[in-house]
Structure 1
Amino acid sequence: MSTRETSVAGQFYPSNPDEIQSMLEHYNQILDEHLKENDGVLQLKPRAVIVPHAGYVYSGFTANIALRLLANSDIKRVVIIGPSHRVYLKGTSISEFDTYQTPLGALLIDKPLVADLKERFDIGFVPEAHHEHSTEVQIPFVKTYTPDVSVVELVYGDESAERLSEVIEYLLDDPETAVVISTDLSHYYDIKKANTLDTICLDAVQTLNDTELHQGCEACGKIGLEAMLISAKKNGLRSILLDYRTSADASGDESQVVGYMSAAFVE
């Protein structure tokens, strides 16, 4: 069997499973202390989520809120979609490995769905693209909260939001499939400028206004973000903003920050 090995374990997140579990337990302790049951947030059953992809020290808390919610739904597979940071990519690549390794154990890759998407949407496989951190950092969360699901990894480069939205719409036709969209927000502005730019992204997500993204949103995964908003509107989903923060919340440095958000799309 072929395996999608970890590429950034020990860098973006711990390579030690106990350390991963300790971090997630810490995030959840904070969540449980600050969110009451009657708030309804922890009972959401998202069809799709948006999550960041920095190191866990910076964006793990934000990602955890959204990915934890996947456990509320009766899903059998999770499709993770993220932008390519390491190689130039024309279009989208889909992982053809048999399993996806994590420090917590492996997850099966949904080979029937991979074959279906490859044929239906003419998606190729570029092995070099699948050392991508924007997708990989989500997998330990998926393994923790939905350990029995299969996964599919899609990494896009020079792709159109319209074409990617067709893939997402097809995936959402199956109620047992959840979609994870990976993106960070603005990069390396001071905190005031970052908040201004990120607010454009946040407003677009909350109103499902994909055209607003082109009015100053600087998300690195803007193509995936736009595709998700297009798909959400067509599928009658509503969006709920779960968290927004910047790297300054962890580092204390407000001179150059990166923005992070998480959101859920529910019926």
Structure 2
Amino acid sequence: MTVRPPAVAGSFYPADPDQLRAQVDDLLDHAPGAGSHRAVVAPHAGYVYSGSTAAVAYHALRWDDVAQVAILGPTHRVPVRGIAAPQSTTWRTPLGDVAVTIPDAVAALPHVVRDERVHAPEHSLEVHVPFVQRLRPHATVTPLAVGRADEHEVAGVLDVLLADPATAVIISSDLSHYLPYADARRLDDQTLAQVTGLDGTITHEQACGATPVNGLMEHARRHGLALRTLASCSSGDTAGDRSRVVGYATLVLEDRP
């Protein structure tokens, strides 16, 4: 067994297990809704900034019978061609250890590689794991760091993952970065309209997780599904000033109305 230790405990979320448990539970308690969705888009900033929006996404998921939670997020620190699965078999957070599973059908895809260097410092996947541990403590996680890939390659992974009814998927992405509050709101509204309209592809100026989001859009187009926005805000609405904000949103994958 090889263990990946937490990289951002104490910065993005509390390192103390009691404080972390209390914060996660409080965010979930204040999030609306009970879900029936199998795939969501959720932000990955520090919990004080985006945790309330992310909690909406976790409540939107259907947790009954979920045995595996796949998390696809962008690489911020270490570049990689394709989509990187970890070599570690266990991920550790202050709440304990969770087993990693990489389905054989995912590992066999030509654009999926094994690279622990990509995962070691990356926060975009890690920040979701404590919520999974509280909501579905016996589930395994499938962390996939999306590097230089196109929407068809990401959609191919999602096609495999979502063919398994026991798998839930979290697409990890924030929206615009470091714009004044009003400018960020305008750009983020445009981005969300484009994503929910399944209109082409978005750029990394619109969302740091543009590549996995584009893959989800392509998956939706292939299968006649829709994307819908449940919540959106920015750091200017939560714990930051409004001169340079980061945008956040929760979206769900669902049947067309």
Q: Which moved more, 1:178-187 or 1:60-69?
A: 60-69
Task: Return the offset for 1:105.
Answer: 1.3
Helix, strand or coil for the counterpart of 1:133? Answer: coil
Task: Return the offset for 1:69.
Answer: 3.4
Residues 74 and 236 (structure 1 numbering): CA distance in 2 closer, same or farther, change over 3 Å?
farther
How many residue pairs get aligned? The number is: 254
Distance 2:106 2:117 in 1: 19
Higher share in helix: 1
- Superposition pairs of residues 44-123 of structure 1, within 5 angstroms: 44-70=35-61, 72-111=63-102, 113=103, 115-123=104-112
Task: Return the offset for 1:44.
Answer: 2.1
- The aligned amino acid for 1:107 is V
Residues 46 and 71 (structure 1 numbering): CA distance in 2 closer, same or farther, change over 3 Å?
closer
Structure 2 spans left out of the alignment, 5+ residues: none
Higher share in strand: 2
Distance 1:45 1:27 in 2: 19
Give the structure 2 partner of residue 23 of structure 1: 23
Distance 2:59 2:86 in 1: 24
Using the aligned pairs only, state the percent identity. Answer: 35
1:183–1:225 Cα contact (<8 Å) kept: yes
Give the alignment's TM-score, normalised by structure 2: 0.92
- The aligned amino acid for 2:45 is A
Q: Which moved more, 1:233-242 or 1:96-105?
A: 233-242
Helix, strand or coil for the counterpart of 1:245? Answer: strand
Equivalent of residue 253 in structure 1, options 237, 241, 246: 241
Note the aligned Cα RMSD (angstroms). Answer: 1.8
- The aligned amino acid for 1:245 is C
Task: Return the offset for 1:206.
Answer: 2.4
1:4–1:99 Cα contact (<8 Å) kept: yes
Distance 1:94 1:252 in 2: 33
Task: Return the offset for 1:225.
Answer: 0.6
Task: Return the offset for 1:213.
Answer: 2.7
Task: Return the offset for 1:251.
Answer: 3.0
Task: Return the offset for 1:236.
Answer: 3.2
Residues 147 and 68 (structure 1 numbering): CA distance in 2 closer, same or farther, change over 3 Å?
farther
Deviations 1:17-42 (A, max 9, x none): 211222123223433xxx4xxxxxx2
2:49–2:240 Cα contact (<8 Å) kept: no
Task: Return the offset for 1:71.
Answer: 5.0
Residues 217 and 130 (structure 1 numbering): CA distance in 2 closer, same or farther, change over 3 Å?
closer
Give the alignment's TM-score, normalised by structure 1: 0.89
Distance 1:156 1:212 in 2: 15
Deviations 1:210-245 (A, max 9, x none): x1635x961011111111011022223332312101
Distance 1:204 1:17 in 2: 39
1:51–1:183 Cα contact (<8 Å) kept: yes
Distance 1:86 1:122 in 2: 19
Matched, 1:237 2:237: no
2:35–2:62 Cα contact (<8 Å) kept: no
Give the structure 2 partner of residue 225 of structure 1: 213
Equivalent of residue 118 in structure 2, options 88, 104, 129: 129
